[in-house]
Structure 1
Amino acid sequence: MSRPAPRGALWALLAGNFVIGTGVMVVPGTLNEISASLSVSVATAGQLITAAAVVMCLGAPLLAAAVAGWDRRQLLALTLLWYAAGHAVAALMPSFGALLPVRMLTVVAPAIFTPQAAACAGMLVPPEQRGRAVTFVFLGWSLASVLGLPIGALVGGHLGWRMAFGAIALLSVASAASIWLTLPQGIRPAALTAAAWSRVLRSPVLMGIVSVTALQGAGQFILFSYFGPILKQDFGADPTTLSLMWALFGVFGLVGNMLVSRFIDRVGAGRMVLLTSSLIALSLFLWPWAGTLPWLAVVLVPWGLGCFATNSAQQARLVGLAPALAPGSVALNSSGIYVGQAVGAGLGGWLLANDAVAWMNWAGFALLLAAIGLSVAIDRSRRPA
């Protein structure tokens, strides 16, 4: 197999994660517009997040086994073309009932792309650079929060959610072309045997790390899923203001991920997870005292720094602990992210529907504390006596 210098391929994988992340987050960014356009409540529209998260959760490990033998250039490019088609069709749907199944089919793509891109990145560089390569590729999600999410919210707020979905379809086609042109041929990670899957599933450390990811995701998505409606209801935010708040969150998300990518091999993935999780918990704790938009912007800074960075650190943690098991463990970790999204969006929707918005941050804070405690316990269990 002839391989060019991997830098271009790593950038293409980063760009693919940007498109994937923008598409996943377009629903939270345009929730107000979807609700109004399709004549459903915000809590009902929020079930698009829950249903999609369930598909991504179940799909990541199942599809990791199904596509094990595929050339990664073909797999990742075709996945992005599927994503493009799904968003294009979704933009044409006339009702919520029609949109929901299309959305569920569309998000098969993130279930494949993100874990396979992470595993692929680890194969393009020497072992001592794996942590940095994985976190670099995951910067695409941070860029999605900096650019994709606020621009999607702005487009959705002024031109409608259908135009935002159409834009993602076009970006997906462009990203598929980039993957095809830059990724080397012949990258075929060895398929995990049943024994290898058993090693992943029976490993207390690996499954504990996946559980940390799920708790983190649930804690964040209780509020994150309904960020737009809450800002509109409690702060009177218009689409432009909401877009700016998303952009602020995303800028610090990018900064946090860049810092993690730079220092994770020196500091250690476990310590990075502890730091980034603590930053998220701090914002959730301070949320009730953010009485104005400027103070809310300040409160969001630690959350932004930790939000995407903690997922990057978790992926690198798994790859570093067991490189040979990474295709399975990273896929399960992606499932953990989506389990968290499903649980968080579902619980947040229930609290919103029952006029218990004031409890949303505290429920999220409690789940973050549980994640931090479990992560510390895992690290202590691995230290020599």
Structure 2
Amino acid sequence: MAGILGPIAEDLGVTVSAAGQLVTVFALGYALLAPPLAPPLAALTARWPRRRLLLTALAVFATANALSALAPSYGTLLATRVLAAAGAALYTPTANAVATTLVAPERRGRALATVLGGMTVATALGVPLGTWIGRTDWRLTMWLVTALGTAALAGLALLLRDLPAPAAAPGLRDRLAPLRDRRVLGAASTTLLFFLAFQTVYIYLATAISPATGGRADRLSLVLLVSGIASVAGSWLGGRLVDRVGVRRVLLTGSTVAALAFAALPWAGRSMPGALAYAVVTPLAGWAVSVALPHRLASLDPGNAQLLISLNSSALYLGTAAGGAVGSAAVALFGGRWFPLAAAVLALVAAATTWAGADAPRVVRPDAAPARRPLASLRADRPEQ
């Protein structure tokens, strides 16, 4: 949606700022509708076979985007974005969880990286493609998303084998039980803080590098394209590093590198070489971290992997939704050049939560089944590694 806010605002008679709330309501809708924050939705689908759940979620997502393309008013368009968020909130965590069940434990990092690769490719190609198609009519972009969602639905229907539902449908109390685990809350807090830091700069990147681009759209597009390509590479790299060196090292190193990049941006953003260097380094570190974050949560309690990955997605989108407000406040407080320093501090706090949470004791319920505890054999999955 980011590249077509101007045409939407002009067509529907609202300000660009109001059109920007379409992004916010999607992010908030995703965060609040994903389990465990939406227990009724989770409980309704808990015993569905995973293949059926994935197909239904994609159908909801594609239908919602078709309704967006047909929306006659701003209010209707807002409502369709919430519906699209519901489909995404069901789909993405389930896809991540399914990916980890289809491979051996030592390849789970790569499996997650493959699923997250769809998000990074969207960053690299979706924004410029959607912007180009929607330059004359923003509704064409929404029809494109509908078509892609329908194609994905057909692909899954043809290629994904049947996957069983969980053996038992946990109740609301069981679903919320992981939230009493200090390590789970710490890991979710790391996700929220890191994406808050990342989005604080990314949403206002044009402002941060305006001295380098001189306000020229072609230069900004080049930086965004390089950033998108680096995002794809970062996701691929993160999956392999998680499997090789462990989750904790990836989180600590990636968060620290991102913090240093944010801190350097006030100077790097003064020239095109500096801006391009930033566009390479930050997504490499950031998307490597984005692979490690759900892996860390899932490894804390493999029996609750899907629930914990859903929690990670909720934290991610809450951070994304808050990034716009925090970035705006930082620009107002520190100015267009220095506001990335706020993101640097947030990234360091995210690294600190990773470090502090590494040795936090895990709360184990007395009645917990052995299969629901972390498996000592999953050495590569343990956050201590």
Counterpart of 1:73 (choices 51, 59, 69) is 51
**Cross-structure match for 1:318:** 297
Q: Residues 234 and 33 from structure 1, CA distance in 2 versus in 1: closer, same or farther, beyond 3 angstroms?
A: farther
Cα root mean square deviation, aligned:
2.6
Counterpart of 1:306 (choices 275, 281, 285) is 285
Alignment of 1:84-233 (within 5 A): 84-156=62-134, 158-190=135-167, 191-194=169-172, 196-227=174-205
- Greater mean alpha carbon deviation, residues 285-294 or residues 266-275: 285-294
Question: What CA distance in whole angstroms lies between the structure 1 residues aligned with 2:65 and 2:171?
Answer: 34
Q: Which runs of 5+ in 1 are unaligned?
A: 1-26
Deviation of 1:186 (Å): 3.4
Provide the TM-score with structure 1 as the length reference: 0.84
Deviation of 1:252 (Å): 0.6
Equivalent AA in structure 2 for residue 71 of structure 1:
P
Q: Residues 322 and 60 from structure 1, CA distance in 2 versus in 1: closer, same or farther, beyond 3 angstroms?
A: same
Across the two proteins, how many residue pairs are aligned to each other? Answer: 357
- Greater mean alpha carbon deviation, residues 352-361 or residues 206-215: 352-361
**Cross-structure match for 2:317:** 338
**Cross-structure match for 1:43:** 17
**2:57 is the alignment partner of 1:83:** no
Deviation of 1:320 (Å): 2.2
| Contact 1:153/1:243, CA 8 A, preserved across alignment | no
**Cross-structure match for 1:15:** none
**2:253 is the alignment partner of 1:275:** yes
Secondary structure, counterpart of 1:69 in structure 2: coil
Equivalent AA in structure 2 for residue 59 of structure 1:
L
**Cross-structure match for 2:8:** 34
Deviation of 1:379 (Å): 1.7
Question: What CA distance in whole angstroms lies between the structure 2 residues aligned with 1:34 and 1:73?
Answer: 35
Equivalent AA in structure 2 for residue 30 of structure 1:
I
Counterpart of 2:276 (choices 277, 290, 297) is 297
Deviation of 1:118 (Å): 0.9
| Aligned residues with identical type, % of pairs | 34
Q: Residues 268 and 193 from structure 1, CA distance in 2 versus in 1: closer, same or farther, beyond 3 angstroms?
A: farther
Counterpart of 1:265 (choices 243, 265, 271) is 243
Question: What CA distance in whole angstroms lies between the structure 2 residues aligned with 1:99 and 1:187?
Answer: 36
Q: What whole-Å deviation, never above 9, does each CA across 1:72-131 have from its counterpart, x for those lacking one? A: 222212211222222222123344333222212211122111111111112212333323
| Contact 1:351/1:360, CA 8 A, preserved across alignment | yes
| Contact 1:149/1:246, CA 8 A, preserved across alignment | no
Q: Which runs of 5+ in 2 are unaligned?
A: 362-382
Equivalent AA in structure 1 for residue 186 of structure 2:
G
- Greater mean alpha carbon deviation, residues 145-154 or residues 192-201: 192-201
Q: What whole-Å deviation, never above 9, does each CA across 1:44-70 have from its counterpart, x for those lacking one? A: 332222222111111111233331111
Equivalent AA in structure 1 for residue 255 of structure 2:
S
Which has the larger Rg? 2
**Cross-structure match for 2:366:** none
Q: Residues 350 and 43 from structure 1, CA distance in 2 versus in 1: closer, same or farther, beyond 3 angstroms?
A: farther
Question: What CA distance in whole angstroms lies between the structure 1 residues aligned with 2:191 and 2:91?
Answer: 18
**2:29 is the alignment partner of 1:52:** no
| Contact 2:30/2:317, CA 8 A, preserved across alignment | yes
Question: What CA distance in whole angstroms lies between the structure 1 residues aligned with 2:313 and 2:71?
Answer: 28
Question: What CA distance in whole angstroms lies between the structure 2 residues aligned with 1:97 and 1:234?
Answer: 38
| Contact 2:212/2:271, CA 8 A, preserved across alignment | no
